Amino acid sequence: MDYRPYWGAVVLALVLALAVAAGADDDHTRAKAARDAGTIVSLRAILDRVEAEFTGSPVEIELDDDDAGRWIYRVKLLAPGGAMVKLEYDARDARLIRAKGRGVDAARRQRAD
């Protein structure tokens, strides 16, 4: 049996995996540089904002840059009652951009005027 095609597939898979890992390292480096330069707010600032605006527990947080080069914190929040709410915050100023999900209204804290 000729194993050359299998080895080719294994090598290709390894090369692709390394390329993805290198890209992830690059994203991390860029995000850290943006934070160090003061271009984006800290994760702590985002968590404070989420806690002030919503009830529930953050279960996942990502920092991504969109196609326009804008940094976005994406937060998945487990709201009371078990609904999953997705929040997006502008990483420059911690401003809420979008809130969506079945339980978003129930999870939103009432403002004290």
What integer pLDDT is reported at residue 69 of this predicted model?
81
Q: How far apart are CA 69 and CA 65, in angstroms?
A: 6
Beta strands in 4-47 (DSSP E): none
Q: Of 88, 78, 94, give the one whose Cα is nearest residue 44.
A: 94
pLDDT tens by residue, 86-111 = 999 999 999 999 999 998 998 999 87
**12 pLDDT tier (thresholds 50, 70, 90):** low
pLDDT tens by residue, 20-59 = 555 555 767 877 777 777 788 999 999 999 999 999 999 9
Q: How many CA atoms lie within 13 A of 14 on its CB side?
A: 6
